[in-house]
Amino acid sequence: MDAVSTAFGLSGAAGLNAWIPLFATGLLDRTGAIDVAAPYDKLSSTWVLVVLAVLMVLDIIGDKVPVIDSVLHTAGAVVHPVAGAILFAGQAGLDDVPTAVSLASGALIAGTLHATRATARPVVTGTTAGVGNPVVSLVEDIGSIGLVVVAVVLPILALLLVAGALVGVVVMFRRVRRGVQARRNE
């Protein structure tokens, strides 16, 4: 159960920031703090860690700039689900879960959370003239780091947090859809 819970937490973190959990997972595998299953254990190789560190820093900085964040969120429609898939499938101890199910689960978790934040970001931009973007981005980065820590230290809590976030997304989507339908019927 811990491997599944950790997988949920790390793929959820990838929905907030793809590069932080990828880098952290590679670093934690490198230090022996966690075990990453092959072939995903390549995350802990020196050159991959260097590339992930550079991408992480560029993303953290770029996501604070209103025009660049839009480009990053568009590219994130692919990057975040792929990161989530890698992180979910890479968890050692998921031997009973078919690889396709692991990849799909991670992609769905990260993709859903990324799509939600990417949809909300233009609202933040519009209502704050872009001033709120760096604040929201910082909160997302901190949330991603926090979720990585929780996924490793208290995996069951990570599972509950991600499950709660996904339920919240569904509830929010339904409310928005009902509001749109109500306006159309007026």
End-to-end alpha carbon distance in the chain: 49
Helix H segments across the chain? 2-16, 19-31, 46-62, 66-89, 99-128, 133-153, 155-185
pTM, two decimals, is: 0.90
Q: Where are the domains of the chain?
A: 2-185
pLDDT in tens, the chain (186 residues): 688 999 999 999 999 999 999 999 999 999 999 999 999 999 999 999 999 999 999 999 999 887 888 888 889 999 999 999 999 999 877 788 898 999 999 999 999 999 988 888 888 888 888 888 899 999 999 999 999 999 999 999 999 999 998 888 888 878 878 887 888 887
The closest alpha carbon to 86, from 99, 75, 72, belongs to 99
Cα 89 to chain centroid distance, Å, stands at 14
CA distance 97 to 58: 34
